[in-house]
Structure 1
């Protein structure tokens, strides 16, 4: 695909998301989601790569199903509102609407497509899927997400699936996908309190995820074994380790800040059981993060059985990676006091 077409599709992708989150009607949000969908499919499809074409087809079918459910629910809700009829039907339709948004962003238990699609994409495409493509569904959920048992089940299933299934992954893209599912549980929990908390969490998550993916893209890393081989530089290892642990929410790194805020709010609202489950599942996530980082730190390969060692020469990028995560403790203290 030519660069001109990529720029056009990427601009349309951004426009679709902005239309969806700024629309004053549900039909407008649906149109924005469709514009976003039809612009992202060409970006991830490649006739020379059968895997990306397969991912594009899976992504299109799942998103089309979610869009159909979304449109069905908003049309019926409009009809019922025009007739001034409010009943259990309204709550059922709102649950269908929310379920379609959960399916669009890949939250558990509607996550079946998310890791498979992510694993067949390159790092640039995965970066968009794990960050930008979640903005519109999550913003729409802030309007309709109820504070009830259905929302709690989605949150618990997301943190459990992301942590437990992530234990068994050796492919970095799948590991990042299950990590994203786990973070989605935390972001959905933040929506129960304040939209500002979700924005803080999503901004920090997206920043750390993009930085890690850019690092792995530059070093051409797709499997854990390649981490040991390609990272033959101590500064690279240090950068990857602190940002990977920051993504896991280990204090005193920056990724701990949003989880700290959410835990504090849940305890204030007496959600002790939900807080306990989420913290325990995050401990499991931190386990496989630490397993990866310790292996990088302790294992050195003298022989190279993949490809020649790649040197990452961008020292400024390494400096930014380190400063963002190491400054987490100071930033956490300042922002917590402000909140």
Structure 2
């Protein structure tokens, strides 16, 4: 994606529409903000490639179809006898927008063709608005079903993949189950988890974009440096929730509250899915270490790049995250 005035305008309006969607106190305003967000996101992922245009059309049709169903649910909510049916239908439509299982196929296909920058936007920022709307009116049984399905498909789908984008897509589906689980606890807990996940994804996507990595076997051939190896190890272990890294505390808080509310089966499934996710995160780091052509230098010169890596490590640890823990409790 080339940074120019039009892209800057689309990004700005996309962010503003999401913020308006979050702060709106009317269903119609939420729907309008959702559609504005959609129409300003499509030009950012647009590509003249024929296959890409086909995938973008599928994305457009799926999003518009779910939006129409949400609008019908909003309009007929007060005049319909069985309001529970409309709530369930609206929940499924919002889950479709989020790329949740069993509506996740479009998300996997779209993620595989767009750039890492747009993949980051699709996996983090684009999920914020529908998740907030889902908080306003959700069915607990649908949420539990979605948590179990997302964690199961997210942990099993990435095991036999060689495409880094597909691996990260299934990882995002697994993290969506954690986001939904945290939303059942409180809105603050959900925002903490989304913020943490966004931070972790930002550093990983930035490195993938910088190195132009697409396939897992490319990790074997690129020139390795010690700082890059340590960076990837910390990023992926933090994404997997390994203590004492940044991704551990929101998962621990979520599990703690789920156990207090007697969601024992959901907690066990989420923990097992995180362990399987850690396996294929380790697989990525393993492929990076197969060809050991880097040297360990114990005399590190202080420069801007070293400061940048050090800043990343400090963020990925829980030292700076203790403030969030104190605020939540």
User: So what's the TM-score if we normalise by structure 1?
Assistant: 0.89
Paired with 2:146 and 2:128, the residues of 1 have a C-alpha distance of: 18
Say if 2:59 is the partner of 1:68. Answer: no
Say if 2:143 is the partner of 1:142. Answer: no
Paired with 2:307 and 2:168, the residues of 1 have a C-alpha distance of: 24
Which residue of the other structure, out of 166, 184, 202, is the alignment partner of 1:192?
184
Q: Which runs of 5+ in 1 are unaligned?
A: 81-86, 303-312
Deviation at 1:37, TM superposition (A): 0.6
Paired with 1:54 and 1:144, the residues of 2 have a C-alpha distance of: 33
Q: Following superposition of structure 1 onto structure 2, how do residues 64-143 of structure 1 map, counting pairs within 5 Å? A: 64-80=64-80, 87=81, 89-143=82-136
- Indicate if the aligned counterparts of 1:44 and 1:55 stay in contact, CA closer than 8 A: no
Secondary structure in 1 aligned to 2:184? coil
Cα root mean square deviation, aligned: 1.8
Which residue of the other structure, out of 162, 175, 184, is the alignment partner of 2:167?
175
Say if 2:245 is the partner of 1:244. Answer: no
Q: Deviations over 1:113-161 (max 9, x none)?
A: 10110000011111111111001001111111232x2211111001111
Paired with 2:8 and 2:37, the residues of 1 have a C-alpha distance of: 14
Deviation at 1:314, TM superposition (A): 4.1
Q: Which runs of 5+ in 2 are unaligned?
A: 295-303
Partner of 1:84: none
Partner of 1:306: none
Paired with 2:292 and 2:60, the residues of 1 have a C-alpha distance of: 42
Say if 2:314 is the partner of 1:323. Answer: yes
Deviation at 1:50, TM superposition (A): 3.0
Paired with 1:216 and 1:318, the residues of 2 have a C-alpha distance of: 15
Residue correspondences, number: 318
Paired with 2:305 and 2:66, the residues of 1 have a C-alpha distance of: 41
Which stretch has the larger CA shift, 182-191 or 69-78? Answer: 69-78
Paired with 1:258 and 1:143, the residues of 2 have a C-alpha distance of: 22
- Indicate if the aligned counterparts of 2:101 and 2:150 stay in contact, CA closer than 8 A: yes
Q: Deviations over 1:164-192 (max 9, x none)?
A: 01111111111111101000001101111
- Indicate if the aligned counterparts of 1:229 and 1:300 stay in contact, CA closer than 8 A: no
Partner of 1:280: 272
Deviation at 1:2, TM superposition (A): 7.6
Deviation at 1:52, TM superposition (A): 3.0
